[in-house]
Amino acid sequence: MTIPAFDLLKPGSVAEASEMLLEHGDEARPIAGGTTLVILMKQRALRFSHLVDLQSIPGLERITDNDDGLSIGALATHRSVERSPLVQRRAPALAQAFSHVGNVRIRETASVGGNLAHADYRLDPPPALLVHGAEVVLAGAEGTRVVALKDFYRGMYETVLEPGEILVEVRVPHAAPAARTVYSRFSSLSANDWPCIGVAALLSLDNGNVGELALGLSGVAEAPLLAAGLERFQGESCSEELWDAVCDVVDEQLSPVSDLRGSADYKREMTRVWVRRTLRELAS
Amino acid sequence: MADYSIVGRPVDRRDAVQKVTGRVLHVGNMEPAGLLHVAVLRSPHPHARIVRIDKSRAEAAPGVAAVLTGADIAAMPGITPYHGPAFADQPVLAIDRVRHEGEQVVAVAAESRRAAEEALELVEVEYEPLPVVLDVLDAIKPDAPIVHDEIRPSGAFADLAHVKAGERSNICYHYKLRKGDVDKAFAEADRIFEDVFTAPPAQHVPMEAHVSLAYVDEGGRINIHTASQSPSFVRGELARMLGVPMNRIRVRVPYLGGGYGAKLYNKLEPIVALLAMKTGRPVKYSLSREEEFQTVTKHGVVVKLKTAVKGSAMTARKCEVYWDTGAFAEIGPRIVHKSGYTSSGPYKIPNVSIDSYCVYTNKPPAGPFRGFGVPQVIWAYDSQMDIVARGLGADPVEFRLEHALEEGDLFVTGTPIHACGLKEAVRRAADAVGWDQPKAPASGSKRRGKGIACGVKAVLTPSISGAIVILNADGSANVLSSTVEMGQGSESLLAQIAAEELGMPFDRVHVVQPDTDVTPYDTISAGSRSTYHMGNAVRMAAAKVKEELFQAVAGKLEIDAADLESRDGRVFVRGAEERGMTVTEAFLAKFGSLGTTMVGEGLCQPVVTPMDPETGMSEKCTEYWFASASAVEVEVDTETGRLEVLQFHAAGDAGTAINPKYCEQQLVGAATMHLGLTLFEQMVFQDGQLLNGSLLDYQIASIKDVPAACHPIVVEVPHKDGPFGAKGIGETGALTVAAAVANALEDAVGVRVRDIPLTAERIHEALKAARKVNGGT
């Protein structure tokens, strides 16, 4: 399969890229790693006369540690996040989640921003970012705005990105020192396959009782999901009964899609299994 | 073992360095000047009438050299537009009707692949959808839509000449075996076991996709470079289709990046040949991965088994096997026949009835797939062997050993068993997995279990392999063979055989790649047949050369040639090594010159006694047997249903291992491939549309899916007629994987799953159903 002819535009800045996107409208798309976009264009499922190459903008691939959190440039590759000592120290679950995506060749190319903006419902990194309370920085002609990742998704393959807007940075606030995080991926078919579901959890304990609790999920709704309403468990003591209660609250928020990796019912049941396992692991 | 110099040694592959350094010439790398590229418009419908095709805009598109439809081909004088190894039921490009999603409809040759693909978008095809039949059991119902109204016979293989298609039916072939009195045995049985097993269509996924290149040379001959496992077939079939003598077609095959059965018979060759003839330019067609899924698949099956037991003996078995051959028969009828007659297993069962049906549906065509249908029937019968053993309270290993056929016993067809190391394979696999050791204790939600399965495959018989060995005056030798090196190691293995027979060093033997102008006829490189058939042909050819060489030496030394032997390129008197000469000296002695060669030809052509059409009986239905056993230990997560294979032991009888390393690699490779098919691979269709036709959604076993402990066990029971006692082993490791894993699953958690793949969700469902039955929640 070949890719239909297109013009590759090389902006020198985000503002220029944004202008290019606005100028060409639906005929243009930004390209970062291209691991998904190129396949879709080769399949002729998507067609763009212009691609705006974000790799030509300097500095978008940096990963830095600021006082309040990590800043991950949208053009950072999956591999660079997975291997970053900063990320491994500050947000181990995040490094873990990125290490699961595709294979090493994909991870060397695929960008963090592309992963998020593609808004696939069953990717590994979003749940881990969600439990950290990550925000995305969106830059457009009108300036930049910061959106919580949980509010970034609008549905299957849909985000709040406006025409001309580009995801340029992901901000990952540092978790409290007492908080522990983990990402569990469940593959129902080949080990290398997309996950059936993914569960990330953040839990801090206060004298054996629940302090901060967050659960991020993928594969169980039209978009990655940060479970709501978990504050009510603060102060409760960790127990199997408590985890069951958490699972009940989570379950109400699921709207799984049946796909090749599992039926909606199966995904619902697996979410229960993996939420419980993940919390058990963090509480132990 | 006999005192061999090179046979039995694990020499490195000839192609290893080239391959790992990326310097192998594949068809895909060939770019002759003026090359045109092909893209093909495919049917979006699983079944439809073609009302109208308008290709005029495509013909006028930039860079387009030719646009071809099925009707165009049918109108070309002297050209036969249909082909197929069993029936000529497949048009090169669809004529009047499309019968599966992805069927080829319009081909464009253009200056670039992109120009060709863009021209396709300008082709207008109007379809009128027709009723679709997808399920193999629906397809045999009397009111089912009929996939083919008429089926043309094929002249491709003499041994398939008896194959007649059913009239106005989707059953295009029926194999029947009747032995003893099955009804009486069932009436008198103590217990009857009845099970239905299924396996879905799946994909071969060779690393290299199909690719063919054709051009017409200055002499008007058609030259084909193709990734094919059957160059001799391609030449013969193209000659028939194009109405030209065989020597007007030259087919060459370089190294293949895997075949697994996907690259047999005609695939892309007719399209590139016709487009090369039409344009007068070189033409290349290479499939995308997505197109691979629409080209050839593994047969899905439904296997119904019913077994009667009296006391502790199996007294009767009734097998009904329904093979989903898709929209075109491909080699389906031969698979249905060859695998059909083994579908009751290699066991002592006095009364047997087998019905094996080849059924058309509106799916992509199914063809050969590593194991040639046998993995599907063993999946069924050796799952049921475990069910029966457990039902009788017998140990599954002991139960198999008690019932397994041995040397001299008659197979169900009436053919005696020879050199079939089945029991040894079972014993060694069972020992390796620690069958007698207690089961590992449960840990949390994880349960462990062990499973075993065994079975046999009969080699494709009759078939033919020819070889020529040329000894040069400097003691180097060329082997001319049409066996395709597709990763199995045949090139080095044939060199080992030739070197051993000639008494020449291994590195002085060169094996010429298949070229139908030069290398003799060979039926196919498939079915684990090359080591035996081509190995014998090469050995015979080498023996003839050696005879000539020895005569030359004997004449010079004035002794009897029978007293000579050769080693490391020197011929000498047995017991008196100092009396002898080099090959060069022998050439000088005989010819007085070095400007000549000694040439020998060998032919291996095992024959069969045709089966009785009513009873399926034959005194000799096959040349030899492959015995396979798999033993596994699995761990099942009872909360998720996910099954992990912890240990895998693949045992197979190689006869004599000409190269033990290649045998081990074949066993492990085949087992790994079928582990993917057992655990998660399947082509999923909805309303005739394939839902997972790319590697994004259809995954094969990766390195992460291979068990940490994956061990080959090479059993060696030499065959009296094999080259140095060798048989083949390319498929053996594949045969028994699925049943072994399902049997281990039951051992671990007490549930029986009768459908592969054994996905986590399927196992989870079975566990839930079992809990319900047991009164739990």
Q: Is B292 on the interface with A (CB under 8 A)?
A: no
Taking alpha carbons only, the member of B288, B210, B302, B294 closest to residue B256 is B210
Structure token digits, residue B246: 């065989």
CB contact under 8 A, B702 and A269: no
CB A221 within 8 A of CB A254: yes
AA identity, residue B414:
G
From chain A, pick out residues whose CB is under 8 angstroms from the CB of B290.
Answer: 1, 43
Please give the Cα distance from B629 to B404 (Å, whole number): 12
Q: How far A192 CA sits from the closest chain B CA (Å)?
A: 7
Query: Residue A222: which residues within 8 A CB-CB, separation 6 or more?
Result: A121, A155, A156, A255, A257
DSSP state string for B686-699: ETTEES--STTT--
Q: How far B277 CA sits from the closest chain A CA (Å)?
A: 24
Q: Is A196 on the interface with B (CB under 8 A)?
A: yes
Burial class (CB in 10 A: 0-12, 13-18, 19+), B201: buried
Q: How far A5 CA sits from the closest chain B CA (Å)?
A: 9
**Is residue A2 in a domain?**
no
**Is residue A191 in a domain?**
yes
Question: Which one of B42, B445, B694, B759 makes the best mutation probe of the A interface by having the most chain A beta carbons within 10 Å?
Answer: B759
AA identity, residue B268:
L
CB A129 within 8 A of CB A70: no
**B304 pairs with which residues across the strands?**
B196, B320
Please give the Cα distance from B294 to A76 (Å, whole number): 37
β-pairing, B625-637 vs B446-458, is: antiparallel
Please give the Cα distance from B508 to A180 (Å, whole number): 65
Distances (CA, A) of B350 to B153, B338, B389, B409, B413: 36, 20, 18, 12, 11
Distances (CA, A) of B478 to A38, B286, B467, B598, B624: 47, 31, 11, 11, 29
Q: How far A176 CA sits from the closest chain B CA (Å)?
A: 32
CB contact under 8 A, A190 and B117: no
- Report pLDDT digits (tens) over A123-134: 999 999 999 999
CB B230 within 8 A of CB B519: no
Q: How far B372 CA sits from the closest chain A CA (Å)?
A: 24
From chain A, pick out residues whose CB is under 8 angstroms from the CB of B639.
Answer: 273
pLDDT, position A142: 85
Q: Is B446 on the interface with A (CB under 8 A)?
A: no
Count CA atoms within 13 Å of residue A56 on its CB side: 14
Q: Is A284 on the interface with B (CB under 8 A)?
A: no
Topology of B463-604 in CATH? Aldehyde Oxidoreductase; domain 4 (3.30.365)
| Mean pLDDT of the residues in chain A | 96
Please give the Cα distance from B377 to B175 (Å, whole number): 14
pLDDT, position B2: 64
Question: What is the dotted CATH code of the domain comprising B372-457+623-773?
Answer: 3.30.365.10
Taking alpha carbons only, the member of B544, B527, B538, B528 closest to residue B482 is B538
Q: How far A2 CA sits from the closest chain B CA (Å)?
A: 5
CB A94 within 8 A of CB A128: yes
DSSP state string for B281-310: S-EEEE--HHHHTTT-EEPEEEEEEEEEEE
Give me the total of CB pairs closer than 8 Å, taking one residue from chain A and one from chain B.
61
AA identity, residue B99:
R
Q: In which element (H, E) is residue A214 found?
A: strand A209-218
pLDDT, position B485: 97
Q: Is B769 on the interface with A (CB under 8 A)?
A: no
Taking alpha carbons only, the member of B235, B64, B228, B213 closest to residue B156 is B235
CB contact under 8 A, A190 and B705: yes
Please give the Cα distance from B27 to B212 (Å, whole number): 7
Please give the Cα distance from B716 to B295 (Å, whole number): 37
Q: Do A166 and A95 belong together in one domain?
A: yes
The one-character DSSP state at B4 is -
DSSP 3-state of B367: strand
DSSP 3-state of B747: helix
From chain B, pick out residues whose CB is under 8 angstroms from the CB of A4.
Answer: 114, 118
Taking alpha carbons only, the member of B44, B209, B47, B36 closest to residue B107 is B36
Please give the Cα distance from B389 to B385 (Å, whole number): 6
Residue B390 backbone phi and psi in degrees, to 5: -65, -40
Structure token digits, residue A113: 């921003």
Q: Is A186 on the interface with B (CB under 8 A)?
A: yes
AA identity, residue A261:
R
pLDDT, position B3: 83
Query: Residue B438: which residues within 8 A CB-CB, separation 6 or more?
Result: none
| Three-class SS of B611-654 | CCCCCCCCCCCCCCEEEEEEEEEEEEECCCCCEEEEEEEEEEEC
DSSP state string for B22-54: T----GGG---TT-EEEEEEE-SSSSEEEEEEE
Q: Which ipTM score applies to this complex? A: 0.96
The count of residues in chain B is 777
Please give the Cα distance from B670 to B418 (Å, whole number): 24
From chain B, pick out residues whose CB is under 8 angstroms from the CB of A270.
Answer: 640
CB contact under 8 A, B761 and A4: no
Q: Is A45 on the interface with B (CB under 8 A)?
A: no
Give the chain A residue nearest B116 (alpha carbons): A2
Q: Is A5 on the interface with B (CB under 8 A)?
A: yes
Indicate which residue of B292, B500, B623, B731 is catalytic. B731
Give the chain A residue nearest B640 (alpha carbons): A270
Per CATH, domain B34-130+204-292 is 3.90.1170.50: yes
Distances (CA, A) of B19 to B10, B27, B255, B494, B595: 18, 14, 10, 19, 35
CB contact under 8 A, A273 and B639: yes
Domain edges within chain B = 34-130+204-292, 372-457+623-773, 463-604
Structure token digits, residue B384: 């049921």
Q: Is A266 on the interface with B (CB under 8 A)?
A: yes
AA identity, residue A179:
A
The one-character DSSP state at B202 is B
Taking alpha carbons only, the member of B475, B510, B489 closest to residue B10 is B489
Q: Is A192 on the interface with B (CB under 8 A)?
A: yes
Structure token digits, residue B571: 């011929």
CB B452 within 8 A of CB B649: no
Domain count, chain A: 3
Structure token digits, residue B726: 């060798």
User: Is B731 designated active site?
Assistant: yes
Q: Is A270 on the interface with B (CB under 8 A)?
A: yes
Q: Do A133 and A226 belong together in one domain?
A: no
Please give the Cα distance from A117 to A196 (Å, whole number): 20
Residue B353 backbone phi and psi in degrees, to 5: -130, 130
Distances (CA, A) of B475 to A262, B506, B519, B536, B556: 63, 11, 21, 21, 18
Q: How far B641 CA sits from the closest chain A CA (Å)?
A: 9
Q: Do A130 and A115 belong together in one domain?
A: yes
Do B34-130+204-292 and B372-457+623-773 show the same overall fold? no
pLDDT, position B442: 92
AA identity, residue A127:
P
Q: What is the CATH number of the domain that holds A115?
A: 3.30.465.10
CB contact under 8 A, A4 and B114: yes
Query: Residue A171: which residues within 8 A CB-CB, separation 6 or more?
Result: A69, A70, A71, A72, A134, A135, A136, A137, A146
β-pairing, A63-65 vs B685-686, is: unpaired
Which stretches of chain B drop beneath a pLDDT of 50? 1
State the CB neighbour count (10 A cutoff) for residue B29. 10
> From its phi and psi, is residue B138 left (phi > 0), alpha (psi between -120 and 50) or beta?
alpha
Please give the Cα distance from B74 to B83 (Å, whole number): 12
- Report pLDDT digits (tens) over B207-251: 999 999 999 999 999 999 999 999 999 999 999 999 999 999 999
Residue ranges making up the domain that contains A244: 179-283
Structure token digits, residue A47: 């067609």
State the CB neighbour count (10 A cutoff) for residue A179. 19
> From its phi and psi, is residue B120 left (phi > 0), alpha (psi between -120 and 50) or beta?
alpha
Asked which of A45-49, A252-256, B2-6, B721-725 is least confident by mean pLDDT, the reply is B2-6
Domain boundary among A130, A156, A173: A173
Please give the Cα distance from B208 to B480 (Å, whole number): 25
Q: What is the CATH number of the domain that holds A25?
A: 3.30.43.10
Taking alpha carbons only, the member of B662, B657, B689, B675 closest to residue B736 is B675
Domain boundary among A142, A157, A173: A173
Domain boundary among A21, A40, A56: A56
**Angle, in degrees to the nearest 10, between helices A264-283 and B760-773:** 90
Q: Is A198 on the interface with B (CB under 8 A)?
A: no
SS3 content of chain B, % helix, strand, coil (to 5): 30, 30, 45
β-pairing, B297-298 vs B366-367, is: parallel
Scan residues 626-655 of B and list those with Cβ closer than 8 Å to A: 639-640, 642
